[in-house]
């Protein structure tokens, strides 16, 4: 169910409010290009700045728009286990196929506390993908903790965005055989596939969903040389999308392409001008402008 290219969709804003029309259009764009799934309310969706009601609204719109064509993995994490539980139960209720749950940020929990956090959420009864991105949360969930959690009924995989390839190898080597790894960094998708990963939760797929999906699909079908060619074709565009804090570059790119308004929520705002020029140059080089 969770194999391939999943798009971590942005949350479009217009005059400070969620731009529902742009959100629906972006979902349809990704679906029409053949992506394997949609992920609303992740880091790319600016989930920390969404109110509870907005968070639920984006999840519900996504599920209604997708209409069961592909799985929806709803971002439902929080630095509060109680809040994560509320959002995850809501996602299950409205029909999400899975929940992407980030390690609690700011609190800096110990490995024992991280394990307790996910054990509590496991009881909700929806497939859960751990989201490990220590550069943003201040805590890395260790391979040993992940391996323990992989034995639970509903902890089915991890989105690995630590950037640590050895960590990916350690998880795949020791976790339950049904437990999977998805890349959390677009530029590392090909290497993670080579270690045994089964896909990506992608930022760059907001603008090149077809190519990103094809690269993963080719690899999983055994056409490694063609997949490698696509990896190098999209590599520099992937790097440009992370030249500043995500989702500033991808939203800048999408606005330049006419897909959304150029708008974020504070504390995020305009990119540094020099970096914005790098993003725009990457779009031109790739042929998107």
Mutual angle of helices 209-220 and 224-240, in 10-degree steps: 150
Q: How many helices (H) and strands (E) does the chain have?
A: 12, 10
Longest dimension (CA), the chain: 49
Structure tokens at 70: 């592909």
Residue 116 CB contacts under 8 Å (≥ 6 apart), including other chains: none
Q: Coil, strand, or helix at residue 127? A: coil
Residues 6+ apart with CB under 8 A from 245: 268
The residue from 105, 118, 131, 286 that is catalytic is 131
Candidate list 60, 148, 159, 214, residue with the active-site label: 159
Catalytic: 57? no
Backbone angles phi, psi at 43, to 5 degrees: -60, -40
* Catalytic (active site) residue 159: yes
Question: If you search the block for the tokens 């050895």, which residue do you land on?
Answer: 166
- Strand 199-202 relative to strand 98-102: parallel, antiparallel, unpaired? unpaired
Helices 52-66, 81-94: axis angle to 10 degrees equals 30
Catalytic residues: 131, 159
């Amino acid at each position: 169910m969770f194999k391939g290219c999943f798009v971590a969709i942005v949350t479009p804003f217009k005059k400070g409010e969620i731009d529902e029309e742009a959100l629906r259009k972006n979902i349809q764009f990704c679906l029409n290009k053949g992506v394997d799934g949609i992920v609303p309310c992740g880091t790319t969706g600016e989930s920390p700045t969404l109110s509870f009601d907005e968070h639920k609204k984006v999840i519900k719109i996504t599920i209604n728009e997708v209409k069961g064509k592909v799985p929806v993995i709803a971002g439902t994490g929080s630095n509060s286990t109680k809040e994560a539980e509320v959002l995850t139960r809501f996602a299950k209720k409205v029909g999400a196929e899975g929940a992407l749950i980030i390690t609690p940020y700011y609190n800096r929990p110990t490995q024992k506390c991280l394990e307790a956090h996910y054990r509590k959420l496991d009881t909700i009864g929806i497939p859960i993908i751990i989201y490990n991105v220590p550069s943003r949360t201040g805590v890395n969930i260790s391979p040993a903790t992940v391996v323990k959690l992989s034995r639970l009924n509903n902890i089915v995989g991890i989105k690995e965005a630590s950037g640590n390839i050895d960590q990916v190898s350690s998880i795949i080597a020791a976790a339950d055989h049904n437990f999977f790894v998805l890349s959390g960094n677009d530029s590392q998708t090909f290497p993670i596939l080579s270690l045994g990963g089964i896909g990506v939760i992608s930022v760059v797929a907001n603008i090149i969903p077809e190519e990103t999906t094809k690269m993963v699909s080719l690899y999983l079908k055994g056409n490694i040389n063609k997949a490698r060619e696509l990896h190098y074709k999209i590599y520099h565009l992937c790097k440009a999308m992370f030249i500043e804090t995500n989702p500033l570059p991808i939203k800048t790119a999408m606005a330049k392409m006419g897909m959304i308004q150029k708008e974020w929520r504070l504390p995020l705002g305009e990119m540094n001008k020099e970096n914005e020029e790098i993003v725009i140059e990457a779009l031109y080089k790739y042929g998107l402008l």
